[in-house]
């Protein structure tokens, strides 16, 4: 067990990538350097999570806008069948109203 720990320590010491990882003051320096590295990784993780939440919120907003546009542009089959009927009824009412108006005007004059 001690050999594997020593191997791990040697590996960390020889493959340290940043200056903060290089222990210059023995085990305490190594421990401090590892804590600093861990804090940096945690900070980066929090930033990435915040960025992800912002992008998810923007995605939900855009998805809602697309849904609104779809309802404005594309009508459902039910609406396609009922909309012309509603328009025809309205048009017939308007025509009937115009005819009544003409007959009333004729009667007056």
pLDDT tens for each residue of 19-63: 555 555 677 777 887 888 888 889 999 999 999 999 999 999 988
Question: Which of these, 1, 9, 2, 52, lies nearest to 34 by C-alpha position?
Answer: 9
Token pair 């855009």 is found at 62
Query: CA angle, 59 as apex, 56 and 62 as ends, to 5°?
Result: 155
Q: What are the helix (H) ranges across 1-109?
A: 2-14, 26-73, 77-108
Would the pLDDT of 1 be above 50? Answer: no
Identify the pLDDT of residue 95.
78
pTM passes above 0.75 = no
């Amino acid at each position: 067990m001690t050999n594997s720990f020593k191997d791990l320590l040697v590996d960390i010491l020889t493959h340290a990538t940043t200056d903060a990882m290089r222990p210059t003051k023995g085990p305490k320096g190594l421990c401090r350097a590892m804590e600093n590295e861990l804090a940096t990784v945690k900070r980066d993780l929090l930033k990435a999570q915040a960025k992800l939440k912002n992008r998810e919120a923007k995605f939900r907003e855009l998805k809602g806008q697309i849904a609104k546009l779809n309802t404005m542009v594309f009508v459902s089959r039910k609406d396609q069948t009922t909309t012309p009927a509603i328009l025809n009824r309205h048009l017939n009412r308007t025509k009937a109203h115009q005819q009544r108006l003409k007959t009333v005007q004729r009667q007056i004059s």
